[in-house]
Structure 1
Amino acid sequence: MKKYLPYLSAMLVVLFISCKKQEEEKPKVIYDATSKVKTEVPVDTNQILIADLPVNMEGTNFLIHPIGVVSGKGRGFKSSGESGEGFTVSNYGEYQITGYLKNLMFQEMGKDTLYALTDKPILIETATYLKIFADKTKQQLMVYSLSDMDTNKDGKLDSSDIKSLYISTVSGQKFTKLSADFQELVDWKIIESKNLLYFRAIEDTNKNGEFDAEDKLQYHFVNLLDKDWKVQEYKPI
């Protein structure tokens, strides 16, 4: 038996590498005839929704309750974020909440009512308070990077799906999508002196399900003083 162990070990290594390669090569977008993606995902009965303790962005009159999941039955729990075991599903620092969050609940100071950011399935990775913008204009806004569609059609929303850019007031109202469907958010920034939010997204122009050098970057900006947050395209190159 011992003489077969090296061969068995080698086969297991090859199998692991093969599975890992297949996982890595899985397209980020899977298209059908209409290029529509079903956002509904099956309910995972092994997941339990919990809320972290609330966050108050400095200078605002609202509490934000991060909502995430812990999974596992029997002995203990494991969180859905990167924090490992325990009951914490988010992190907070420098006006930004991070994690893999199912939703955010908002509560005005002094009131008992809590309401959700959205009733649609999403997975929030970052929620950023525009503190500098608020200090200058007295408008309090939040910007989010999140997944809102099961673009790879694996039956769940996770970091393997396309990330989109959203905006809302600091109260969670007017939750609005800025980036286009099927375009992966690359980055965004605020030009404080002009009250503008600029962002880049990449479009899978060759429809191979991946975002690479052969695809096209799209450039956009939004006037944050615009009540409707109209997205405008620009062409720097």
Structure 2
Amino acid sequence: MRNNLLLILGLLLISSCSENTPTIVYDEDDKVNTSETVKDTLKYQIGDLPIKIDSLDYLIHPIGEIADSENNKKNTYSYGADNYTTFQLATERGDEIFGQMKNLLFENIKNGETTLLTDENIEIQKVNYLRDVAELSGKNHITYEVIDSDTNNDHTLDNNDILSLYLSNGDGVGFRKLTKKNSNLIDYKTIPELNRLYFKSVSDSNKNSVFDREDEVIYQFIILGINKIIDYNPSN
């Protein structure tokens, strides 16, 4: 019973990380005033157990950071009189992986070769294998919901920064950003019959540092395989 409760609490902690309340800080020239992130000395890097998505010849190893202090509430939860550090970085749900991941290691199960997804300082909150596209086209693609810029200028990457959409091949190669710079991801979906990935984001066009109804909504899609991003506007 106790172990089940701890597992539930851990999953709730991870799922809560997906809530995104971004803000943007501007400098005197109305440019986004991002800052260099500062390494948290109370955290250290670990890996998680590998995840195998069928149809892919790769194991996906999540890599992230956990607190080296029981006082860091972001990475600990209480049960009774004790504090427990959760060492779980990610959880799998079908073709999706949720969590707080700094990187992914792709391991080829046929030859054992490994490849890191990126060398950039980012936070990956969600990974999604596009199975419906693969079933029709035979091509494997993965999308990522990523925080890649400290837009609120607090020297950390977290849910107060904008969320971006990234894409790669099924082996992690070709990792690239899809959403426009300084636009916050709203939603995305695939149209597998057309081999397209549609996505929309919002830009802080009135520059009031938050995203609201007065801002511009950006509509785009990418033709998978060709990797051409096209802007469109369904309201015109």
TM-score normalised by length of structure 1: 0.81
TM-superposed CA distance for 1:86, in Å, is: 2.1
TM-superposed CA distance for 1:78, in Å, is: 6.9
| Cα deviation digits, residues 29-64 of structure 1 (max 9, x gap) | 001236244453111111011111111111110111
The runs of at least 4 consecutive aligned structure 1 residues that moved more than 3 Å come to 36-39, 75-82, 110-113
Structure 1: state its 5+ residue gaps.
Answer: 1-25
| Paired-residue identity, % | 35
Residues 30-109 of structure 1 mapped to structure 2, 5 A cutoff: 30-32=25-27, 33=29, 35-38=31-34, 40-73=36-69, 80=75, 85-109=85-109
Q: Which has the greater radius of gyration?
A: 1
Match of 2:187 in 1: 187
| Cα deviation digits, residues 157-186 of structure 1 (max 9, x gap) | 011100001000111110011001100000
**Is the partner of 2:185 in helix, strand or coil?**
strand
Residues 121-136 of structure 1 mapped to structure 2, 5 A cutoff: 121-136=121-136
| Cα deviation digits, residues 119-156 of structure 1 (max 9, x gap) | 11111110100111111111111001110000000010
TM-superposed CA distance for 1:115, in Å, is: 2.4
The answer to whether the 8 A contact 1:101-1:124 is kept is: yes
Residues 216-231 of structure 1 mapped to structure 2, 5 A cutoff: 216-226=216-226, 229-231=227-229
Match of 1:213 in 2: 213
Q: Distance in 1 between matches of 2:215 and 2:52?
A: 40
Q: How many residues are treated as equivalent by the alignment?
A: 208
The answer to whether the 8 A contact 2:67-2:75 is kept is: yes
Q: 1:152 to 1:191 in 2, by over 3 A?
A: same
The answer to whether the 8 A contact 2:34-2:152 is kept is: no
**Is the partner of 1:135 in helix, strand or coil?**
helix
TM-superposed CA distance for 1:27, in Å, is: 6.8
Give the AA of the match of 1:114. T
Instruction: Please report the RMSD computed on the Cα atoms of aligned residues, expressed in angstroms.
Output: 2.2
Q: 1:119 to 1:66 in 2, by over 3 A?
A: same
The structure with the greater share of residues assigned to strand is 2
Q: Distance in 2 between matches of 1:163 and 1:43?
A: 20
Q: Which has the higher contact order (CA 8 A, sep 6+)?
A: 2
Q: Which shows bigger deviation, 35-44 or 199-208?
A: 35-44
Q: Distance in 2 between matches of 1:48 and 1:125?
A: 18
Match of 2:233 in 1: 235
